[in-house]
Amino acid sequence: MPAKTSTASTKSKKSLKQDLFEHPDFYQIDDLLTEEHKLIRSSIRDFVKREISPFVEDWAQQASFPVEMVKKFGDIGAFGPTIPTEYGGGGMDYISYGLVMQEIERGDSGMRSTASVQGSLVMYPIYKFGSEEQRKKYLPKLASGEWLGCFGLTEPDYGSNPAGMVSNFRDAGDHYILNGSKMWISNAPHADVAVVWAKNEQGRIHGLIVEKGMEGFSAPETHHKWSLRASATGELVFDNVKIPKTNLLPGKSGLGAPLMCLDSARYGIAWGAIGAAMDCYESARKYAAERIQFGKPIASFQLVQKKLSEMLTEITKAQLINWRLGTLMNSGKATTAQISLAKRNNVQIALEIAREARHMHGAMGITGEYPIMRHMMNLESVITYEGTNDIHLLILGNEITGISAFS
Ligand code: TGC
Ligand code: FAD
């Protein structure tokens, strides 16, 4: 009996070591996942290995958004995993959603952006605040990847402070007239549908569905980015655009409506960033074992071991935050401040891990031979969008003190 126990524990130690290399799971969080969660994760992981990782370096180097991925994401169920199946969504829980985001961002943050904007920022508001006709018209096509969507909140003069937005619409009888502009909008240049936030004549914020081809609507691409180069970013320009009244989202108005969408998207980012961090860690661990300097693998130097140990520690802490936050999301108990803590912590540590991994690869770290520099540059956007690092600190500060630093 003792011999058997010791064989079992030797075996589990061995597989733990293998996991640390392949897919770090130091605290065996897999034990907390269901078989369905693991199945979803492995199918997205295989998809990313096959359809994204071999090509993404070229897409990023050429700053080219691979439009063909939109349909492929639809086929694999990456769009709207938590939206009910009757509208074409995946009908999954939030842990599954997180795992999908984690695996896609392990490939590339820009690819994860495409999926999280479509699911959390376009399908979610249409599902949550849309009429039944709007749900039936848009959701199945967005879920299948037939249509691509974008979310227009940020304006040239209103980023962290969207309440100040100046985009506006007025009642013109049987339709509205929309004017204004949005900036830094992911997916915009290729989007068929835009969920746009604008003020009515009383200054109340509403969501409007704007479709490609509407007269006076254009979406020029933003060029020369050093970050998220495989994702297309653009402006949304509205010059007296005639919007049918049936395109107003009737279910909720006020800034709270877009902020609810951001809760869902920020949650996905908290998982996604750890995917990028794991890819950097795995690459650094492998490189350190293979790269010989001073006659030894660099992994044998204490300073390199310190870096790897700190990376694994931070990844493990972030994985635990994600899992617990996922269970709170599933039970409808997660708060905006809890989501802010996860988004802020996980993106920040992912960026720090990417930078350390970059150092550990020496000169090779700046090349496209390794994914590190691309992850690092991508994460510089992820730490800014969906609320900057400091805005999330202040959301937490408000929660702790009861005093808003914004007003
Ligand atoms: P504040 O006064 O706090 O709130 C205004 C109203 O909204 C309500 N509310 C919420 N309701 C539902 N869910 C939430 N999470 C809510 N948070 C707030 C609140 O109760 C209030 O309601 P009422 O009825 O009293 O009016 O608003 P504030 O103007 O002080 O702003 C707060 C602040 C700064 C935290 C907020 O504006 C903010 O989060 N700013 C950051 C902006 C941001 O994150 N933008 C993201 C744009 S989208 C994007 O980046 C996509 S990138 C995607 C990709 O490519 O992956
Ligand atoms: P600003 O708000 O001007 O902030 C500048 C600096 O000031 C930051 O460091 C900020 O933390 C700091 N600051 C601001 N206010 C305070 C304060 N009260 N206290 C302390 N510090 C403060 N938006 C969308 O609507 N849809 C999208 O799809 C989208 N995609 C994006 C894709 C990319 C690649 C990028 C880079 C951005 C995207 N954004 C999108 C915009 C993004 O959400 C904003 O960039 C972000 O909210 C910050 O706004 P800003 O860039 O105007 O910075």
Alpha helices in 122-183 (DSSP H): 124-129, 132-144
- List, in order, residues 6 or more apart from 275 with CB less than 8 Å away: 101, 102, 103, 104, 105, 106, 107, 112
pLDDT mean over 315-341: 98
Pocket lining: 255 vs ligand 1, CB cutoff 6 Å:
yes
* pLDDT tens string 369-385: 999 999 999 999 999 99
SS3 185: strand
Residue with tokens 């994985």: 319
Pocket lining: 60 vs ligand 1, CB cutoff 6 Å:
no
Q: Which ligand is nearest to the CA of 233?
A: 2
* pLDDT tens string 29-60: 999 999 999 999 999 999 999 999 999 999 99
SS3 56: helix
CATH 2.40.110.10 fits 149-247, yes or no: yes
The protein residue whose alpha carbon is closest to atom 2 in ligand 2 is 160
Q: What is the pLDDT of residue 21?
A: 55
* pLDDT tens string 117-129: 999 999 999 999 9
Cα–Cα dist 176/244, whole Å: 6
Cα–Cα dist 146/47, whole Å: 19
Pocket lining: 117 vs ligand 1, CB cutoff 6 Å:
yes
Q: Which two tokens stand for residue 305?
A: 């071991």
State how far the alpha carbon of 49 is from the alpha carbons of 103, 108, 280, 403, in Å. Answer: 10, 11, 15, 46
Q: Answer for the pair 87, 143: CB distance below 8 angstroms, yes or no.
A: yes
Which amino acids bring their CB within 6 angstroms of ligand 2?
A: 117, 150-154, 159-160, 184-186, 228, 233, 381, 384-386, 388, 390-391, 394, 406
Q: SS3 breakdown of the chain: % helix, strand, coil, rounded to 5?
A: 60, 15, 25
Pocket lining: 140 vs ligand 1, CB cutoff 6 Å:
no
Architecture of the domain whose range is 256-401: Up-down Bundle (1.20)
The protein residue whose alpha carbon is closest to atom 18 in ligand 2 is 406
Q: What is the pLDDT of residue 4?
A: 38
pLDDT band for position 23 (cuts 50, 70, 90): confident
pTM for the whole structure: 0.95
Atom of ligand 2 nearest to the CA of 152: 25
The protein residue whose alpha carbon is closest to atom 37 in ligand 1 is 161
Residue with tokens 């943050």: 109
pLDDT mean over 339-345: 98
Cα–Cα dist 254/205, whole Å: 5
CA of 341 to the centre of ligand 1 (A): 15
* pLDDT tens string 177-194: 999 999 999 999 999 999
CA of 158 to the centre of ligand 2 (A): 8
pLDDT band for position 13 (cuts 50, 70, 90): low
Cα–Cα dist 249/126, whole Å: 7
Atom of ligand 2 nearest to the CA of 117: 28
Atom of ligand 2 nearest to the CA of 388: 11
Buried b (16+ CB within 10 A) or exposed e, 110-132: bbbbbbbbbbbbbbbbbbbbbee
Q: Answer for the pair 266, 386: CB distance below 8 angstroms, yes or no.
A: yes
pLDDT band for position 407 (cuts 50, 70, 90): confident
386 included as an active-site residue: yes
Pocket lining: 336 vs ligand 1, CB cutoff 6 Å:
yes
CATH of domain 22-144: 1.10.540.10
Q: What is the pLDDT of residue 19?
A: 53
* pLDDT tens string 229-260: 999 999 999 999 999 999 999 999 999 999 99
CA of 210 to the centre of ligand 1 (A): 22
Residue 180 φ then ψ, to 5°: 130, -165
CATH 1.10.540.10 positions along the chain are 22-144
Q: What is the pLDDT of residue 17?
A: 54
User: Mean of the per-residue pLDDT values for the chain?
Assistant: 95
Q: What is the pLDDT of residue 18?
A: 53
* pLDDT tens string 212-228: 999 999 999 999 999 99
State how far the alpha carbon of 320 is from the alpha carbons of 52, 270, 360, in Å. Answer: 27, 11, 26
Q: What is the pLDDT of residue 11?
A: 42
Q: What is the pLDDT of residue 10?
A: 46
Pocket lining: 348 vs ligand 1, CB cutoff 6 Å:
no
pLDDT mean over 388-394: 98
pLDDT at 333 over 50: yes
Q: Which ligand is nearest to the CA of 186?
A: 2
The protein residue whose alpha carbon is closest to atom 8 in ligand 2 is 388
Q: Answer for the pair 104, 111: CB distance below 8 angstroms, yes or no.
A: yes
CA of 111 to the centre of ligand 1 (A): 24
Mutate to test the pocket of ligand 1, among 122, 233, 259 (most ligand atoms within 8 A of CB): 259
* pLDDT tens string 63-119: 999 999 999 999 999 999 999 999 999 999 999 999 999 999 999 999 999 999 999
Q: Answer for the pair 39, 346: CB distance below 8 angstroms, yes or no.
A: no
Q: Answer for the pair 383, 369: CB distance below 8 angstroms, yes or no.
A: no
Cα–Cα dist 169/246, whole Å: 14
Residue 55 φ then ψ, to 5°: -115, -20
Atom of ligand 1 nearest to the CA of 385: 50
CA of 384 to the centre of ligand 2 (A): 6
Q: Which ligand is nearest to the CA of 158?
A: 2
pLDDT at 5 over 90: no
State how far the alpha carbon of 311 is from the alpha carbons of 210, 277, 316, in Å. Answer: 43, 8, 9
pLDDT band for position 22 (cuts 50, 70, 90): low
CA of 39 to the centre of ligand 1 (A): 34
Marked catalytic residue, from 105, 155, 235, 386 = 386
